[in-house]
Structure 1
Amino acid sequence: MATDTSIPTSQDVSNDENSSPSSQSPNVPRTGFSNSPNARSKSITTADLETYGILNRHAAKNMWFQVGVSEDKGARRTMEDAHSFVTDFGNVRGQGFFAIFDGHAGKHAAEWCGTHFHQCFLDSLRSSPEMNVPDVLNKTFHQVDASLSQMCEESEGKIHSGCTAVTAFLRIEDADGRQSFLERSEPHGGSISGAISPKKSRSPVISRKPSRELKPVCVPPETSRRVLYCANAGDARGVLCRAGKAVRLTYDHKGSDKQEAKRITDAGGFVMGGRVNGVLAVTRSLGDSSMKEFVVGAPYTTETELCDEDEFLILACDGLWDVIGDQAAVNQIKTMNDAQTASNHLLRYALNNHTTDNVTVVVVRFKNQPQP
């Protein structure tokens, strides 16, 4: 996919994750969609180092991780996938947020999530500083699910789509799971110091100043650990490569799953031909308000402390996983040093192997050099 490598400008201020206008609140959905039937993700740009939390902005000199994103509508008539990533998420050097949203019955749910989910998550982290990250992810999924239902109601039936979701949050922590290095940061002009520390009792003030006036990001001590928190609803999947071996960090919520089928039948629904009420192939999603009684938005979450053996993470929608397994996908790219090259390779693999769906692949490489 083409990427824009422009330098940050003042026009990007409105997209800064440190800005939080009411239109981005989980309870006030923004419905200003384009007339295109294709879901649109924010254009990918590149800065030297400071991204100021701007959505889908690479940091060329980021030494903590490297992100590659590739997408294609494949054999479908329209593109209903969206993606997002944020470097130095939450104003902490080395943190990152990454996500893919695979839409169905229209683009709107996926497109909205691609634009707003990261901000909803950050708001939840700040408003619930005492809550552990998996619970914050669960809270965010439910908030976004409710927002999409509200959006559907306000549209008077014109918007009724849903989307599967896979998200990953790379968090920098102390050994005890806290972020005491944020508490030691000096307050400065509406900064977000201490925003996600469990010891803080209130949410910080969110800066409304232009990006260039924000304080530098907090640089954590070298003794900090890196923890990868993943959450998914539906069949979009996250796979970690650890010492060359594939480790799945998500759970496929499908109608063919016995536990999910039992949950649905217990709620008064049915599964026929692997589809909920004979309609939807996934059993969990964001949106799909007309089936919310059965197709819930509750995510599956995992917590993984990264170690020296962890090489990269693959996030992808089922357009990839329909034609390749976890280990085979890892094998395809484990010798590739560049994350963008790796994501594009997996995209081409899916298309060349006749996937029938849209395909979006995000590769996050944690090491500069692949294992031999």
Structure 2
Amino acid sequence: MIFDSVRHGFPVPESFCLGKNEITGGEDETMKDICRKRRELRRVKLLGRAKPAGDTVFSPDCDVGFRNKRWKCADTGVPDGLVGGTAQTDVTSGGESTLSGGFACHTHGSVSVIGRRRAMEDAVAVELGFLTRGSKTYDFFGVFDGHGGFRVAQSCRETLHKLVAKIVEERGGAEIDWEKVMEAGFREMDEEVNKNGAAVAMVGSTAVVAVVGEEEVVVAHCGDSRAVISCGGVAVQLSDDHKPDRSDELERIISCGGKVIDWNGQRVLGVLATSRSIGDKCLKPFVTPEPEVKVVDITDSDEFLILASDGLWDVVSNDLACLVVRKCLNGRIKRTSHVSVVQQDRELEQIDDKGKGENHAVVAAANVLVELAMARGSRDNVSVIVVDLRHSKSGRVRSFSGSRNQVST
């Protein structure tokens, strides 16, 4: 006899758990199916032991074997001081997945999956209320796409928002010069990771970050991760991918004495397929961490913001991504793929806590975008953040900073 953990010590025959018929001694498909369901219930009970806000939901070594696929439960936490937020981890098809939601200034959903890659090099940062300036509170969202390893992307996730907040506080003043703040933050982040010397000389990460307040959105990026905002049903690209063959980037690289070589695509010195990144010390000055920055006042027409790595944008257009998110937020698309029982319960808790299903819809939108990228054959890590802007304060487009005069759509 063994004891069934789901029924708190209720004894069951060992043959039953092996899916065998006690009378004939042969295999019984019905019993095997029941046995499989019982094992899944035990697994749900294990995963359901969530810790208080601020701690990780799952232990770092929680590996779950399910239907011959290996899932890794990633650590997810709730920022200090967040009231009513729920940290979540979504175990879905596609690999390692991290899902989070919160209720500070803006509801959001974020997903990061390993996809078809052998290693996870993406990182996602969500820091709600990371900066308070007078009566204004700002949230920080970032997607970091690492290459050559995960160390730089992870460092950016842990540190960049702290550097930005520190710089804002040090500079003081009534108005924040976001362009200079972001340039200084990216530069200090680059110096920080390059302190490790030869260990990260060939490691780097693209970065696209958004600081979102009640009245404005600040987007800074270096590399080919992208930010897209939906305004009045129109997809507006807020960042222009830093590719080596982009005319101004090509001119900059050549003026520094570098070359762009076609080696399975246009690459800096035949090595890197992006012309700007944090890290990559061995490729400087041809690869620079200097970001392009855009500051946009939020209007009544603004619906949501999408930040994602090129694992999404390589296979999904801006217009299609915005169309999918819009339909999710309007309740016209619902996920039909496998969702764990734990995930369903927690998503329902979010709806109950907030009183409306808006946060649930944003979380679902991020998931659907990732699933769409995987279905379209993306072979990269895929990381997506969707931020709901529909309840922010009204305003007008204030300014666009950076080397480009127009925003591409």
Query: Normalised by the size of structure 1, how large is the TM-score?
Result: 0.70
Task: Please say if residues 311 and 382 of structure 2, whose CA atoms lie closer than 8 Å, have aligned partners that are also in contact.
Answer: yes
Question: Would you say 1:278 and 2:319 are equivalent positions?
Answer: no
* Distance in 1 separating the partners of 2:102 and 2:314: 32
Alignment equivalent of 1:229, drawn from 218, 226, 231: 218
Query: 2:239 is aligned with what amino acid?
Result: T
Query: 1:45 is aligned with what amino acid?
Result: V
Task: Please say if residues 80 and 106 of structure 1, whose CA atoms lie closer than 8 Å, have aligned partners that are also in contact.
Answer: yes
Task: Please say if residues 193 and 200 of structure 2, whose CA atoms lie closer than 8 Å, have aligned partners that are also in contact.
Answer: no
Question: Would you say 1:49 and 2:83 are equivalent positions?
Answer: yes
Question: Would you say 1:323 and 2:307 are equivalent positions?
Answer: no
1:147 to partner: Cα distance: 1.0
Question: Would you say 1:161 and 2:203 are equivalent positions?
Answer: yes
1:335 to partner: Cα distance: 2.1
Query: 2:275 is aligned with what amino acid?
Result: T
Where do residues 44-83 of structure 1 align in structure 2 (5 Å cutoff)?
Answer: 44-45=77-78, 49=83, 58-60=101-103, 62=104, 64-83=105-124
Partner SS, residue 390 of structure 2:
coil
CA separation of 1:83 and 1:3: change in aligned 2, threshold 3 A: farther
* Distance in 2 separating the partners of 1:44 and 1:98: 15
Number of matched pairs: 280
1:103 to partner: Cα distance: 0.1
Deviation per residue, 1:217-241 (Å, 9 max, x gap)? xxxxxxxxx1100000000000000
* Distance in 1 separating the partners of 2:75 and 2:276: 25
Where do residues 148-297 of structure 1 align in structure 2 (5 Å cutoff)?
Answer: 148-151=193-196, 153=197, 156-157=198-199, 160-172=202-214, 226-273=215-262, 274-297=266-289
Query: 1:314 is aligned with what amino acid?
Result: I
Structure ranking higher on relative contact order (CA contacts 8 Å, 6+ apart):
1
Task: Please say if residues 314 and 363 of structure 1, whose CA atoms lie closer than 8 Å, have aligned partners that are also in contact.
Answer: yes
1:368 to partner: Cα distance: 6.4
Query: 2:291 is aligned with what amino acid?
Result: P
Percent identity of the aligned residues?
Answer: 30
* Distance in 1 separating the partners of 2:239 and 2:138: 20
Task: Please say if residues 230 and 236 of structure 2, whose CA atoms lie closer than 8 Å, have aligned partners that are also in contact.
Answer: yes
Alignment equivalent of 1:123, drawn from 145, 166, 186: 166
1:256 to partner: Cα distance: 2.0
Query: 1:329 is aligned with what amino acid?
Result: A
* Distance in 2 separating the partners of 1:3 and 1:231: 37
Q: Which runs of 5+ in 2 are unaligned?
A: 1-46, 62-71, 86-98, 330-360, 393-409
Partner SS, residue 334 of structure 1:
helix
CA separation of 1:311 and 1:364: change in aligned 2, threshold 3 A: same
CA separation of 1:94 and 1:244: change in aligned 2, threshold 3 A: farther
* Distance in 1 separating the partners of 2:102 and 2:217: 20
Task: Please say if residues 4 and 44 of structure 1, whose CA atoms lie closer than 8 Å, have aligned partners that are also in contact.
Answer: no
Partner SS, residue 327 of structure 2:
coil
Partner SS, residue 320 of structure 1:
helix
Task: Please say if residues 57 and 86 of structure 1, whose CA atoms lie closer than 8 Å, have aligned partners that are also in contact.
Answer: no
Alignment equivalent of 1:86, drawn from 119, 127, 140: 127
Q: Which runs of 5+ in 1 are unaligned?
A: 13-33, 173-225
1:289 to partner: Cα distance: 0.5
* Distance in 2 separating the partners of 1:157 and 1:59: 36
Query: 1:352 is aligned with what amino acid?
Result: A
Alignment equivalent of 1:366, drawn from 354, 365, 389: 389
Residue equivalent to 1:185: none
1:306 to partner: Cα distance: 0.3
CA separation of 1:257 and 1:296: change in aligned 2, threshold 3 A: same
Question: Would you say 1:141 and 2:186 are equivalent positions?
Answer: yes
Where do residues 14-25 of structure 1 align in structure 2 (5 Å cutoff)?
Answer: none
Query: 2:52 is aligned with what amino acid?
Result: I
Partner SS, residue 118 of structure 1:
helix
Question: Would you say 1:304 and 2:296 are equivalent positions?
Answer: yes
* Distance in 1 separating the partners of 2:51 and 2:302: 31
Query: 1:327 is aligned with what amino acid?
Result: D
Partner SS, residue 96 of structure 1:
strand
Query: 1:269 is aligned with what amino acid?
Result: G
Partner SS, residue 52 of structure 2:
coil
* Distance in 2 separating the partners of 1:118 and 1:42: 19
RMSD of Structure 2 on Structure 1 (CA): 2.8
Partner SS, residue 131 of structure 2:
helix
Residue equivalent to 1:20: none
CA separation of 1:5 and 1:333: change in aligned 2, threshold 3 A: farther
* Distance in 2 separating the partners of 1:366 and 1:75: 32
Deviation per residue, 1:242-296 (Å, 9 max, x gap)? 1111111111000121110111011000001110001100000000000121000
CA separation of 1:159 and 1:41: change in aligned 2, threshold 3 A: farther
